[in-house]
Amino acid sequence: MKKGFLLFCISLVVLLVACTPKATPAPATSAPTAPAKATTPISALPTPTTQDAAWAKVVEAAKKEGSVSLYSWGLTGDLGVTISKAFKDKYGINVEMTTGTGAQLVPRIQAEYRSGQYVADILEGSPINAIFAKTEKLTQSFGELPQKASKDVWVRDPFLDKEGHIVSFFYTIHGAYINTNLLNPNDAPKSWKALLEPKWKGKMVVPDPDSMPTANQLYVVLTRQLGFTDDFFRDLAKQDLLISPTHPEADAVLGRGQASINLASSLSTMAPMIVQGAPIVPIAMTEGVPSPDGSALNLMAKAPHPNASRLFADWLISKEGQELHAKTRSVPSVRKDVADYRPQATRINYTKLVPMSEEDWNEGARVQREKVLSKLGWKR
């Protein structure tokens, strides 16, 4: 952990993040139904659609492939074990996990492709890395997944691009959180501008934008959508921010009481800590709080198990997969027909939740591409 002053904000100022256009779900199709009675005339029974027959072949081929190689940042630990077991129990297909950050996994796949090794089936991580991987021609379309036929079930449309290369399976909230052992919620700052008050100097932690996107997404939403200027971030840098190397470590710093406020945490990592008893609650900032897509899947261009990969993606955004993911991770689902499993302490009345715009995500992917290709980190 290290202290960041003016140069920290300069690293944020160079980044503008944008979102790819979302695909319009295909029209719903009716699944074949079983005959009501054995005597029902054959001519009266519905016939399987072309899509049903095509998907049945995908499922059959997926079972023959027998495994999915998942390169993942978020579906790890107990969550990864739970998801993998449920998928295998249903289809008999193993999920083989390789973990790391997007900054580690994307260059790894690039290196594998250059050497003619094709190991990864699916890349899971930030939508920024998903767009970057697509831009680098590392991905292919998932095709016509059955869940695309669903109408009016989505809180957030999971199909992020019209070509079908990117599937998002949950959304999150990148807000400010406080440690209630150090700070009474009634005394906490209620706006982003209030963070500039002298009493918060040296009491705030933020994840390093070199490795984690949440601080950058906070910058993008505040400047592009909520009217803040770069001067705000320059002034914020003068507050002796504590910079943790990773997102989870910044959360741990708050949980351990080494900081009173975490400026850019995510519900997806804070919720499990709160469930386990951490003295942490979110703050409803009056101007608004970033609420981007939380994580996305790419199907790799030369995936060795493409059918099993398509089946995994479709299952993860189905009601069954979403129910399991939301319950295990304590996050909101992209589906309306799934229960809210967020811990009660996080269900506060946010004044305004601000999704990332298409321009935000696309610009962010462009900057990420330039950064990786040049192999230059943001300078302090």
Residue bearing the bigger pLDDT, 347 or 300: 300
One domain, residues 90 and 145? yes
One domain, residues 165 and 180? no
Q: For residue 228, give the nearest of 187, 200, 193 by alpha carbon.
A: 193
One domain, residues 259 and 182? yes
**Number of folded domains in the chain?**
2
The identity of residue 133, as a single letter, is: A
- The reported pLDDT for the residue numbered 126 is 85
Backbone angles phi, psi at 176, to 5 degrees: -95, 140
- The reported pLDDT for the residue numbered 69 is 98
What b/e string do you get for 261-292 counting C-beta neighbours within 10 Å, with b at 16 or more? bbbbbbbbbbbbbbeeebbbbbbbbebbbbbb
Which domain CATH number covers 81? 3.40.190.10
Contact 356, 295 (CB under 8 A): no
The structure tokens listed for 142 are 């998932």
Residue bearing the bigger pLDDT, 80 or 39: 80
Q: Which of 178-182, 304-308, 328-332, 371-375 has the lowest mean pLDDT?
A: 371-375
- d(Cα 47, Cα 50) in Å, to the nearest integer? 9
Read off the pLDDT of residues 192-217 as tens digits, 9 standing for 90 and up: 999 999 999 999 999 876 666 677 77
Residue bearing the bigger pLDDT, 367 or 334: 334
Inform me whether the pLDDT recorded for 4 exceeds 90.
no
The structure tokens listed for 343 are 């811990």
Position 41 confidence tier, pLDDT thresholds 50, 70, 90: very low
One domain, residues 162 and 254? no
Rounded to 10°, the helix 6-13/230-237 angle is 150
372 lies in a domain?
A: no
Query: Structure pTM?
Result: 0.75
- The reported pLDDT for the residue numbered 49 is 54
Please provide the average confidence, as pLDDT, over all residues in the chain: 83
Rounded to 10°, the helix 50-65/77-91 angle is 110
The structure tokens listed for 43 are 């001519």
The range of the structural domain enclosing residue 342 comes to 51-170+293-355
141 lies in a domain?
A: yes
Around 351, how many Cα atoms within 13 Å sit in the side-chain half-sphere? 12
302 lies in a domain?
A: yes
One domain, residues 189 and 114? no
Position 368 confidence tier, pLDDT thresholds 50, 70, 90: low
326 lies in a domain?
A: yes
* Residues 20-46, mean pLDDT to the nearest whole number: 38
One domain, residues 57 and 152? yes
- The reported pLDDT for the residue numbered 17 is 32
Read off the pLDDT of residues 134-156 as tens digits, 9 standing for 90 and up: 989 999 999 999 999 888 999 98
- The reported pLDDT for the residue numbered 50 is 60
One domain, residues 103 and 185? no
219 lies in a domain?
A: yes
One domain, residues 177 and 273? yes
211 lies in a domain?
A: yes
One domain, residues 160 and 298? yes
One domain, residues 80 and 189? no
Helices within 179-330 (DSSP H only):
214-220, 230-237, 247-255, 267-275, 306-316, 319-329
Position 15 confidence tier, pLDDT thresholds 50, 70, 90: very low
**With pLDDT > 70 as the criterion, what percentage of the chain qualifies?**
80
Read off the pLDDT of residues 91-113 as tens digits, 9 standing for 90 and up: 999 999 999 987 789 999 999 99
One domain, residues 166 and 69? yes
One domain, residues 249 and 180? yes
Read off the pLDDT of residues 220-271 as tens digits, 9 standing for 90 and up: 788 888 999 889 988 998 999 998 888 789 999 999 999 999 998 888 888 8
43 lies in a domain?
A: no
- The reported pLDDT for the residue numbered 20 is 36
Longest CA span, the chain: 81
Read off the pLDDT of residues 278-314 as tens digits, 9 standing for 90 and up: 999 999 999 999 888 889 999 999 999 999 999 999 9
Inform me whether the pLDDT recorded for 328 exceeds 80.
yes
Q: Is the dihedral of CA 309, 311, 314, 318 positive or negative?
A: negative
327 lies in a domain?
A: yes
